[in-house]
Amino acid sequence: MTFAVRVERTAALLASDVDTAASVWMRFRGLMGRAGLRAGEGLWFPGDASIHMLFMRFAIDAIFLAPDGDGHESLGGDAEAGTGGAWRVVAIRPRLRPWVGIVWFVRGARGCLELDAGTAAGAGLQVGDRLRFESGAA
């Protein structure tokens, strides 16, 4: 099941087709081996506070998020899948380079949203923004 991500401050659609890296295999593989992301496509890593770019063939924006509230139970929806509720941007790592980009532990992050390089800047995304995870692709 995919979901959409919207920036609450601007109502901009950040991504319309986000998948969740829920299984061990999907978390390990991530975006490795792919040629790129389509417009509006992304990958959500619930629980991740660091990432690497080894074996990647293209640059990405990494948006590190924390639940906007006292925990997942206050979000509604399926927090593991990322649907329902709001998440707060705690860090943005734009245009991470393939093979060499690494983001070590981001304090406060409870997940990482990987998007095509330039998406965050194009949407005017800022640290502190709230993102709404919406069930179903928009």
Side-chain-side CA neighbours of 77 within 13 Å: the count stands at 17
Q: Render pLDDT for 1-55 as a digit per residue (tens, 0 to 9).
A: 799 999 999 999 999 999 999 888 888 888 888 889 998 999 999 999 999 998 9
- Sign of the alpha-carbon dihedral angle for 109, 17, 58, 55: positive
- Count how many domains the chain has: 1
Cα–Cα distance for residue pair 98/127, rounded to 1 Å:
23
Residue 75, pLDDT above cutoff 50: no
Residue 73, pLDDT above cutoff 70: no
Q: Is 60 in contact with 116 (CB distance < 8 Å)?
A: yes
Q: Which residues contact 61 (CB under 8 A, 6 or more apart)?
A: 92, 93, 94, 95, 96, 114, 115, 116, 117, 118, 119, 120, 121
Side-chain-side CA neighbours of 47 within 13 Å: the count stands at 8
Domain range enclosing 32:
3-135
pLDDT above 70 as % of the chain = 87
> 4, exposed or middle or buried, with CB in 10 Å at 0-12, 13-18, 19+?
buried
Q: 132 or 73: which carries more pLDDT confidence?
A: 132
For the domain that residue 29 is a member of, what is the CATH number?
A: 2.60.120.1140
Q: Is 106 in contact with 91 (CB distance < 8 Å)?
A: yes
Cα–Cα distance for residue pair 3/134, rounded to 1 Å:
6
**In this predicted structure, what is the pLDDT of residue 70?**
45
